[in-house]
Amino acid sequence: MQRRYFLKNSLKTVGLGAVGVATAAFVSTASAQETITWDMVTSWPTNFPALGTGANDFAERIETLSNGRMRVRVHGAGELVPAMEVFDAVAAGTAEMGHSAAYYWRGKVAASQFFTAVPFGMNTTETNAWLYHGGGQELWDEVYAKHNLKPFPVGNTGAQMAGWFKEEINSLEDMQGLKLRLPGLAGEAMNGIGVTTVNMAGGEIFTSMQTGVLDAADWVGPYNDMAFGLHQVADYYYTSPWNEPSAVLEGTVNLDAWNDLPDDLKAVVTEAARASNLAMTSEFAYRNAQALDTLVEEHGVQLRSFPEDVMQALYESSQQVIQNQVESDPDSAKVYESYQAFQELVRPFHDVGEFHYLKTRDNLTD
């Protein structure tokens, strides 16, 4: 807009009338273009902190960057479709866009889980590097195109907590028979050590914990967990972030709708997704720090880490779960080969860089 204003007024100043008319006509044509209005369905309650507001942020960036040519109406879980039906709704064109987490669709697309979180896998920085620079996005596009979807990373919670437990865990034996809400590959790994896991929408967790349907539950981290009041139904908060060292939130676009967009609006959606991804990651880093302090200091939450035998069992079970999946699903094998190769590439630098720095800082400042 500033460029157009400069051009139009500069041309008036030098008296180039003919070119000035052409410029004015371009502005008129652009402003007269029809506004595209899309609907976005999400797996989060309306305006839920960070997750729901992250979807709102994505929609607002699209409208701003498109100068109003494209508008997105955001619908919380259950308003147009249930939380766990976002994938199908966008694929079918019931809504043009969705905001959710890819591992919710493991029953439909086994390889989708690798685009949210991998137990004992890459952290947020490493995962974003894989998606943006290591071929991860191209593989995600390939897998989702079979389901008439175009995916984007649109947010990340960072490392998630291991979950809320009603009873303290002192050994592997204490895990046996527990009913736990935990999705994705980590849920399958928990099943492998004797835990019964279920996948349910976040809005159902509190009641399920309160009524005894669940003995424990993973959700996100301090900020979102406190928003759902999970500290009111469980005393022990396990910090061991083995399950989701990074958790990507996905934006999906119906592929037919995507292909109908002009190239400049495709670029708008792409850049809005990238900006919202960074914005959510930064917000979680800040809000989780505040919320953890509140949970511990004001609500008396007991922080715990899993015993060594539990962590060892979870690692071995995770590796077996991943191995079983890549052997049974060609897409999973292709995606995980890329994921694992990239992790091996970046790990040495992170070990001598970020990890070494954090250990040094903590040793010197404690």
Q: Give the residue numbers of the binding site.
A: 160, 181, 218-219, 244
Task: In whole angstroms, give the CA distance from residue 86 to residue 91.
Answer: 9
Quote the CA–CA distance of 319 and 27 in Å, as a whole number: 58
User: Residues forming the annotated binding site for Na(+)?
Assistant: 219
The Cα 14–Cα 284 span in angstroms is: 52
Sheet architecture: strand order including 248-254: 70-75, 36-42, 97-100, 248-254, 149-156
DSSP for 178-197 reads -EEE--HHHHHHHHHTT-EE
The structure tokens listed for 345 are: 């590439």
Torsion of CA 98, 100, 105, 110, to 10 degrees: 100
- Residue partners of 52: CB distance under 8 A and separation at least 6: 42, 44, 45, 46, 76
Amino acid at 37: T
Q: How many CB atoms lie within 10 A of CB 248?
A: 27
The amino acid at residue 352 is V
Residues 6 or more apart whose CB falls under 8 angstroms from that of 353 comprise: none
- Ramachandran sector of residue 180 (left: φ over 0; alpha: ψ -120 to 50; beta: rest): beta
Cite the annotated binding site for substrate by residue number. 160, 181, 218, 244
**Residue 185 token pair:** 């590959």
d(CA 95, CA 91): 8
End-to-end CA distance of the chain: 52
What one-letter code names the amino acid at 288? N
